[in-house]
Amino acid sequence: MRNLFDSLKEYKIADELCAAAYETCTPDIRGAIKTALAFHFSENTLIEEAQEVFVEKSSSGFCKGYKKQVLENLFILIDREYSAPAKFLALVSQAIRANVKQVFVFLDKTMPKQKLYLFLACLELCGMENSYYLPEKEMLENWFSEIQQQNKSRIKLIDCSSCGKNFHNIKPVNIFTDTLQLKVFAQNSQRKIITLAYGKSAAYTYTAEEKEHSCREHFNTLLRASPNWYYDISFAGTQAAAQNYGLGMEFCFHYPKLPQDFFYDTLYFSNLETNYPPSE
């Protein structure tokens, strides 16, 4: 596998570039990313240890067993149209908390500069060492074909792109796109950072009004909301509610949450008990 990664050297994103992107972020964006990471790592608990189980007798009439181990390699592909760094942070934090051994990120360097630098800043704060610029389509497909042939354990891909159209020949693919539409309610002053974090993955409603109530009152208001104006995420709390609904929470995105089994490499076995010698 080492030789295959040597062929990607020209696409490697320099650590210094990620560090520079983070340092040039405005204080509010830097604080937002930090808050988001703290949120995701507190919300996503560590996945249970890998295990091996074999059941010789069961009421189903089958002998069965499975071996479950943490995923060796996870590849995340991000094209120039993907516009939700908040979702990306939610995804990466789940992979890290799942103890995936190696996470690789391929980032399209042709995306708008502001968005590119934002993703680079996220990579820096996540401590992502295996980050590359997205190679040309043909080169990428040939490279994945080779690595899948050489690798003994299963490789999983997450495609952050427009319906997976750029990587349709790379199989299997889990498409992590902006198909889940969110309803976000926020103040006008938060417009820039929220749209930067969620991109096209949300429908926005902005207001200049600041409601005078606490975090708990704000939360209860959302619970009582009519379905006609219910919002998935609200950042309209005042300073009294800032610790839950502002000052960095704009970059937090908890769903969609990938199932824990996604981060496992699982071998499952089942056979009729009649195929085994009778027990003494």
- Model confidence at 247: pLDDT above 80: no
Helix (H, G, I), strand (E, B) or coil at 237: strand
137-176: pLDDT as tens digits: 888 888 888 887 877 667 788 888 755 555 545 555 556 6
Helix (H, G, I), strand (E, B) or coil at 117: helix
- Which residues have a Cβ under 8 Å from the Cβ of 269 and sit 6 or more positions away? 64, 65, 66
- Model confidence at 280: pLDDT above 50: no
Asked if omega into 85 is within 30° of 0 (cis), the reply is: no
pLDDT for 258 equals 75
Question: Among candidates 76, 35, 87, which has minimal Cα distance to 202?
Answer: 87
Q: What is the mean pLDDT of the chain?
A: 79
- CA dist 92 and 125 (Å) reads 11
Does the pTM surpass 0.75? The reply is: yes
pLDDT for 20 equals 94
pLDDT for 160 equals 82
pLDDT for 177 equals 58
Winning range, highest mean pLDDT, from 64-78, 176-190, 217-231: 64-78
Point out the least confidently predicted range of 38-47, 86-95, 199-208, 227-236: 227-236
Point out the least confidently predicted range of 72-86, 125-139, 187-201, 218-232: 218-232
CB 232 within 8 A of CB 183: yes
pLDDT for 18 equals 94
Element (H, E) at 37: helix 27-43
Point out the least confidently predicted range of 14-18, 66-70, 169-173, 179-183: 169-173
